[in-house]
Chains A and B, each alone.
Chain A
Amino acid sequence: MSQNAENVLDHFELFRQPEYKKMLEDKKKNFENPVAEAELERVREWTKTPEYQEKNFAREALTVNPAKACQPLGAVFAAVGFESTLPFVHGSQGCVAYYRSHFSRHFKEPSSCVSSSMTEDAAVFGGLNNMIDGLANSYSLYKPKMISVSTTCMAEVIGDDLNAFIKNAKEKGSVPADFDVPFAHTPAFVGSHITGYDNVMKGIFEHFWDGKAGTAPKLERQPNGKINFIGGFDGYTVGNLREVKRILDLMGVEHTILGDNSDVWDTPADGEFRMYDGGTTLEEAANSLHAIATISMQEYCTEKTLPYIKSKGHEVAAFNHPVGVEATDKFLMEVSRLTGKPIPAALAKERGRLVDAIADSSAHIHGKKFAIYGDPDLCYGLAGFLMELGAEPVHVLATNGGKAWEEKMKALLASSPFGKNCHVYPGKDLWHMRSLLFTEPVDFLIGNTYGKYLERDTGTPLIRIGFPVFDRHHHHRYPVWGYQGGMNVLVWILDKIFDEIDRNTNVPAKTDFSFDIIR
């Protein structure tokens, strides 16, 4: 018996004790009908070969370890960015349990969202009654100022009509006639979570600007000189949106952050649970029509929203999750151009500090090879920053990246000598990436938590940047945008590089001559 009260052994120690090792070996040998060790080794080695890679890349139907989620997740992400808004997902209830868990595991925060809990009878007769009853219950219990309705694949397959259902529910008195219930169809079998974000954002603006589904007059645009800002689906939303506000305030730019979920996913522990906190007010959402311009920080999260806003007469600009000096420069210069406000000296100083930090450290990053995967915009932003640091992106993969993204990535990589050996993989998954890391190894991998399996299998050190990050805490509180955000990303990359050098040089009398105290 190894367990003891004084020094309680956790799972990672307990099951390495001799009595457990023997038990597990016996279990395998006697009852599991295991694959012979030699055969296991043969296949394991075979999965590392170019031959295997060829078969792996020939896949047409099977997806293994994708780096994307479904539309409804993005729908919830967008909805909670509005003041006291309850996301209401029309369809099966298990989906909502999944979205809530997923966000809570990333942000370490509560995630509030309801379902219309459709079951077999709704599959046959449609979910109208679920909508009628569901809106009434949500409104009574959770006292939202707005309910944002989206769908699961079940409701989409049976063809439920949200517009008609919501009208019907209002007629039945589920919520007051003038209560805001914007909606968006978000089928899980189209696009990914970034598509769902896009659809819900567009749905909310259409609701406020275009006459609330025929129940109010359309708003008439009267430009007021402000600018709108949309962050997109972003695991760093808490840190990033606050940083953007700080920057825009420094510039004296009157602005509205649309879909500001930075507070609801960062509430204090002070004895009170805040189901809602912060967010874009409904008034701001409506009045954002009058802005002169709208900036999207993630082009591929706003593919429908931004053209819609443009059609209202806004000047629009889209970025690709800008990280680093030049990307931030472009962002600030665009804000300055749109608003006529100069970029203040304080920001120039922040820029100088980031440049200084890069100069101090670039010798350790220069020429290092990287693989990156994640959402299309994030991949773009990170690849740009890596090349700025003198690092070489080698594989860039976005499961939810399309043809347009591929072209744009290639153009970016072609713009720098550091991008010349890089390949772009739209629509591929992390099992493809596994092959790539074996056949064309890199020094570091950048990706979300699931990248740890690639790190384990291929030995490529993982720098966790992306969504979701479940197994490291609180990084979402730090910005990756702005010069300060660039500093954070730089430090995360450097920390891993230095940790790896130390790890590779710490064997006494063998490698520790390089175990330097100063680097």
Chain B
Amino acid sequence: MSLATAEKLEDIKARNKEVIAEVLEAYPDKFAKRRSKHIGTFEEGKPDCGVKSNIKSIPGVMTIRGCAYAGSKGVVWGPIKDMIHISHGPVGCGQYSWAARRNYYIGTTGVDTFVTMQFTSDFQEKDIVFGGDKKLAKIMDEIQELFPLNKGITVQSECPIGLIGDDIEAVSKAKSKEYGGKTIVPVRCEGFRGVSQSLGHHIANDAIRDWVFDKQDGKAARFEQTPYDVAIIGDYNIGGDAWSSRILLEEMGLRVIAQWSGDGSIAELEATPKAKLNVLHCYRSMNYISRHMEEKFGIPWVEYNFFGPSKIAESLRRIAGHFDDKIKEGAERVIAKYQPLMDAVIAKYRARLEGKKVMLFVGGLRPRHVIGAYEDLGMEVVGTGYEFGHNDDYQRTTHYVKDGTLIYDDVTGYEFEKFVEKIQPDLVGSGIKEKYVFQKMGVPFRQMHSWDYSGPYHGYDGFAIFARDMDMAINAPVWKLAKTPWN
């Protein structure tokens, strides 16, 4: 496949080369050289995208990346709804990430559910000087007193914790013992660790392994097991994504015993080793625990993609491939059931979106996973990149992108603006920090982390919303108003 005809493809590659050279020119030499390794053009047939990744951001640029705390508290742990997650350190980290990710859940907030709350140890100077362990212990006591229905506590470390030598593990163990074996999980996700959110995901995965799974060894499931038990891994239920995914798995005859971690509960985490198959959406943030469960419990895992009807059907069949004919037939039944809806959505929106060009820059799985959904609408992705991807993400990306696609890893604000200026896409999909930059430039934009406060985008129900949203972004009348009519 190619973006266009052979001749035009050459033009595209030449243009990419030109714009890459142009942006690199703006850097001091040393950093032009470093950044050059992160930007390139995908060449058909290559095993990866030809860019380096998961390397420190260069200082002094507008990197879009966050930190390990964001990866642990913000992504992996935060959505576990019946536990209390303490942002341990100064007040800011918890404040800026308070309820910002739209991890939907059902529960009585403040009573048996705590996702959209900000629990912080609000470190003061004396805590830095004398250490925060005593305060942490007291916080756990106060949590037990005021929030008695909590099912567990995690300690999400902010930068100072690792620097001042606090022993949050000792505090957690002591308090767990005091409270009759309560699950209390210390997480060493200080923001300075690693190069992005990514290490925070890994640390959070490891914390589940060490502080949740290891306590469960040998315990029976709370429910009767079936041959069709699966766990959804790596869906954060943003705008309800995991729900519009779960419904499809259940409709095909599977039983979802756990959601990781959107609308998830500690009971679900604990039960997951009883699954027959782990279905993994966000590979980047939860491949670690999936591999662990494979090694330790022999549970296979399969990656899937629930963006857009083509990939959904492919994924349903791939998941069904792990089960018997009953499930395989179930998958076909589900695909057939939703076909008329998909036909109607595509009939309505494709004509309005055909040929529109998209540039993406997101995290996790989305820089590749959403490409199929755009293609289902006749759109093409001409540039993409990962905030915190690793080489295995870029390898997986080769199955999605076309020859000549511009690839930018850990793009800087400066580069992204220049790329968009030059390539003039019809839509940019990225985050809140980028949104208004491009809208000022007159380029339609959708936030592809929070779904721009819409969603779900997963599953068939989600695709209808996705298509409607892309149409309303691109075809909004406002873009015609940007220029004054008198000059």
Interface residues of A (CB under 8 A from B): 1-6, 8-11, 14-15, 19-20, 23-24, 27-28, 30-35, 39-40, 43-44, 47, 52, 55-56, 59-66, 68-70, 72-73, 88, 91-95, 97-102, 104-105, 108-120, 122-123, 129-131, 133-142, 152-154, 157-158, 187-190, 192, 267-274, 431, 434, 450, 453, 457
Contacts and interface: CB of A to CB of B under 8 A. Distances in A.
A8 B468 contact: yes
Contacts of A35: 112, 149
B239 A111 contact: no
Given A5-B344, A11-B104, A31 B92 contact: no
A157 B436 CA distance: 34
Nearest to B95: A69
B409 interface: no
Contacts of A98: 66, 70, 92-93, 96-97
A44 B65 CA distance: 39
Nearest to B123: A189
B110 A457 contact: yes
Contacts of A4: 341, 344, 464
A271 B96 contact: no
B19 interface: no
B37 to A, nearest CB: 16
Interface string B326-358: 000000000001100100110110000000000
Given A72-B92, A273-B417, A120 B192 contact: yes
Question: What 10 A-B pairs are tightest by C-beta distance, nearest first?
Answer: A94-B67, A70-B92, A134-B60, A134-B59, A137-B60, A98-B96, A33-B267, A5-B344, A188-B90, A61-B138
A129 B30 CA distance: 13
A30 B226 CA distance: 13
27 contacts: A5-B341, A8-B464, A15-B243, A24-B106, A31-B223, A31-B256, A31-B267, A31-B271, A33-B267, A61-B135, A62-B142, A63-B121, A63-B122, A65-B117, A73-B92, A98-B92, A101-B100, A114-B60, A133-B58, A135-B60, A137-B60, A138-B61, A187-B125, A188-B91, A188-B92, A189-B123, A434-B110
Given A5-B348, A112-B413, A117-B63, A95 B92 contact: yes
A27 B256 contact: yes
A134 B258 CA distance: 44
B435 A69 contact: no
B191 A133 contact: no
A92 B195 CA distance: 10
B454 interface: yes
B135 A94 contact: no
B5 interface: no
B475 to A, nearest CB: 15
Contact of A61 (B121, B243, B244): B121
B54 interface: no
Nearest to A52: B146
Given A5-B464, A112-B413, A269 B439 contact: yes
A109 to B, nearest CB: 5
A157 B160 contact: yes
Contacts of A1: 337-338, 341, 461
A102 B127 CA distance: 26
A377 B112 CA distance: 35
Name the interface size band of chain B: 35 or more
A35 B195 CA distance: 40
- Of B143, B148, B222, B461, most buried by chain A (CB within 10 Å of CB) is B461
A140 B27 CA distance: 6
A31 B337 CA distance: 27
Interface of B: 26-28, 30-31, 56-70, 82, 89-93, 95-98, 100, 104, 106, 108-112, 116-125, 127-128, 135-136, 138-139, 142-143, 145-146, 148-149, 151, 158-160, 162-164, 191-195, 197, 222-223, 239-240, 243-244, 246-247, 250, 256-259, 263, 265-268, 271, 337-338, 341, 344-345, 347-348, 412-414, 417, 431-433, 435-442, 454-456, 460-461, 464-465, 468, 478, 482-484
Given A40-B112, A94-B67, A157-B160, A59 B142 contact: yes
Contacts of B149: 35, 39-40, 43
A192 B436 contact: no
A486 B338 CA distance: 55
A64 to B, nearest CB: 6
Contacts of A11: 104, 239-240, 454-456, 465
Given A69-B96, A104-B433, 4 more contacts: A32-B265, A117-B60, A120-B194, A189-B90
Contacts of B484: 270
Given A64-B118, A118-B192, A137 B61 contact: yes
Given A5-B344, A105-B100, A19 B159 contact: no
Contacts of A15: 104, 240, 243
A94 B433 CA distance: 13
Contacts of A69: 91-92, 95-96
Contact of B432 (A24, A32, A101): A101
Contact of A270 (B92, B246, B482): B482
A420 B337 CA distance: 66
Contacts of B27: 137, 140-141
Contacts of A95: 67, 92-93, 191
A138 B436 CA distance: 21
Contacts of B413: 112
B63 A93 contact: yes
Contacts of A60: 138, 142
Contact of A271 (B57, B124, B143, B482): B482
Contacts of B124: 189-190
Contacts of A112: 62, 413
